[in-house]
């Protein structure tokens, strides 16, 4: 059975929606699913995600489907999908301001005016560890002058159970 989910985020006049092929166990503020037509990249993917407190951004563990092979996914990464603008990169930390992780602005010609921010591949395992241990995370949007001008807060309640379940359920490898 295929259903359409809405993240409940209000962006301009519309909310993002994507088709869920398979719901997966989520916990706390985290949800997980295998989707077709990911709301930013328009590809089938395996996701674990939570939305920011202000509802304008989503933090995702994202693994795109490998070609036409159902249930096979490429190596996962962490990304932010947002409708914020005016930034060139972002920094993700735990609420205590621990290790900063740089996220790079990705090209997003598929869905305007949404933007994707991608974590560096070498940071994935450390980000996963931080998301499991911390109770909340902060994303700071940085402008072209290098100044943080806006931030978003994410609850990490339920992140460990949801991330572990998604990694196992989609057979993801780091």
**Length of the chain in terms of residues written:** 174
> What Å distances lie between residue 91 and 81, 99, 115, 141, 162, CA to CA?
14, 10, 15, 7, 23
Alpha-carbon span 152 to 157, nearest angstrom: 16
Mean predicted confidence (pLDDT) in 9-26:
61
Domain count of the fold of the chain: 1
pLDDT of residue 5: 36
CB 46 within 8 A of CB 38: no
Residue 112 within any structural domain of the chain: yes
Alpha-carbon span 174 to 155, nearest angstrom: 23
* Tens-place pLDDT, residues 43-61: 999 999 999 999 999 999 9
Residue 72 within any structural domain of the chain: yes
Mean predicted confidence (pLDDT) in 95-109:
86
Domain range for 8: 3-169
Residue 174 within any structural domain of the chain: no
| Percentage of the residues of the chain whose pLDDT score is greater than 90 | 69
Alpha-carbon span 118 to 80, nearest angstrom: 7
Nearest 5°: phi and psi at 112? -105, 145
| pTM beyond cutoff 0.85 | yes
Whether the per-residue pLDDT at 4 is higher than 60: the answer is no
Residue 144 within any structural domain of the chain: yes
> For position 146, which CATH number holds?
2.60.40.1880
CB 142 within 8 A of CB 89: yes
- The more confident residue out of 52 and 85 is 52
Query: Residue 146's CB: how many other CB atoms inside 10 A?
Result: 8
User: Mean pLDDT of all residues in the chain?
Assistant: 86
């Amino acid at each position: 059975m295929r259903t359409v989910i809405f993240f409940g985020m209000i962006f301009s006049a519309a909310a993002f929606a994507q088709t869920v092929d398979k719901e997966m166990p989520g916990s706390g503020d985290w949800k997980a699913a295998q989707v077709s037509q990911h709301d930013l990249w328009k590809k089938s993917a395996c996701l674990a995600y939570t939305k920011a407190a202000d509802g304008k951004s989503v933090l995702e563990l994202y693994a795109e489907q490998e070609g036409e092979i159902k249930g096979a996914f490429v190596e996962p990464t962490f990304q932010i999908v947002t409708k914020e603008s005016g930034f060139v990169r972002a920094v993700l930390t735990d609420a205590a301001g621990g290790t900063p992780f740089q996220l790079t602005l990705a090209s997003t010609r598929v869905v305007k005016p949404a933007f994707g921010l991608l974590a560096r591949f070498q940071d994935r395992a450390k980000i996963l560890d931080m998301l499991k241990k911390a109770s909340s995370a902060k994303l700071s949007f940085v402008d072209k002058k290098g100044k943080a001008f806006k931030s978003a807060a994410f609850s990490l309640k339920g992140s460990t159970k949801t991330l572990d379940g998604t990694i196992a359920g989609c057979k993801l490898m780091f």
